[in-house]
Structures are given as C-alpha cells and as structure tokens.
Amino acid sequence: MATKQRESLLGYVEPYSAAEGEEYMSETMRAHFTRILNQWKLNLMEEVDRTVSHMKEEAANFADPADRATQEEEFSLELRTRDRERKLIKKIDKTLEAIDSDDYGFCETCGVEIGLRRLEARPTATQCVDCKTLDELKERQTGA
C-alpha cells in the first residue's frame, strides 16, 4: 500500500501516521511538527536573504521615471511579502515554544485537540476548526 504524500512549502512531506493507540501529541508527533516548523522557518529565512541580495543587485537609478516606478513597486511588493513572512516566523517561534511546553495541538479557546489533519495543513494553528469558524463568523458580523 503506497503512502500518500502532499506537496507543501517544504517539498514533499509525509503526513504523520499515528500508531494504533498512540497518545495524542506524543513525543514522536511533537518531533514531527518540530521538524516541519524548523524547516519552514529555515525556508522563510533563506527567502529573506535572497530578497536582500536581489534588491542589492537589481537596485538601479533609472533615468526613465516609469522604469524607476516599476522597480520601486516590485521592491515594495517584495518587502510586503517579506513582512508577512517575518510575522509568520514569529508565529512559528511561538508554536515551537508551545511544543516545548507541551501546550501544542490543543485549542487555545476550548482546550480540545486540534487534530492531526488540521495541524498537518496548518502547523501553526492555535484553534480547533469549530472555534476558528466561530471567530471568523464573529469577525464578519462585526466587520473587525
């Protein structure tokens, strides 16, 4: 029987397959998610380095205002992307701390298990599907 693999930011990662009777968030589960998160963080940090190099190499003082504006817009988009990734790195660090303190994998709102499938899809998830759905509904209703 072939094991299903999924494509992610890290390439191909086999989803965690819990052994029969294995306790939720066992040491091996936490190690699995630690590896995923550390690799994800490393990939993001490498992307930051590439952006800095790219901006240094490509920076030019174009005489044509349209060319200069195009380059500035490109750099602006890259910097916004890197800013989102910087925030994601902070979230990854917070998640790694939760793993170290054995708080990982449980909903911050209600305390139930978030579930392996959700964590595989979103390793930094802090809420179960039900609580996240309620938060999103409240957000839409209040416009916040």
pLDDT surpassing 60 at residue 1: no
Q: What is the pLDDT of residues 22-36, one digit of tens each?
A: 999 999 999 999 999
pTM: 0.79
pLDDT surpassing 80 at residue 90: yes
**Cα dist from 69 to 76, 77, 105, 124, whole Å:** 10, 12, 46, 37
Structural domains of the chain sorted by starting position, each given as residue range(s) with its CATH number in brackets: 24-104 (1.20.120.910), 107-144 (no CATH)
CA–CA distance, 61 with 58 (Å, rounded to integer) = 10
Task: Report yes or no: 95 and 124 within 8 Å, Cβ to Cβ.
Answer: yes
pLDDT surpassing 80 at residue 123: yes
Residue 10 is predicted with a pLDDT of: 52
Lookup result for tokens 């990982």: 104
Token duo for residue 17: 């397959």
- List the one residue out of 40, 68, 41, 74 whose CA is nearest residue 55: 74
- Residue 12 pLDDT level (bands cut at 50, 70, 90): low
Helices (H), the chain: 27-58, 65-100, 116-121, 129-142
Task: Report yes or no: 131 and 123 within 8 Å, Cβ to Cβ.
Answer: no
Residue 132 is predicted with a pLDDT of: 96
Residue 29 is predicted with a pLDDT of: 95
- List the one residue out of 33, 50, 37 whose CA is nearest residue 9: 37
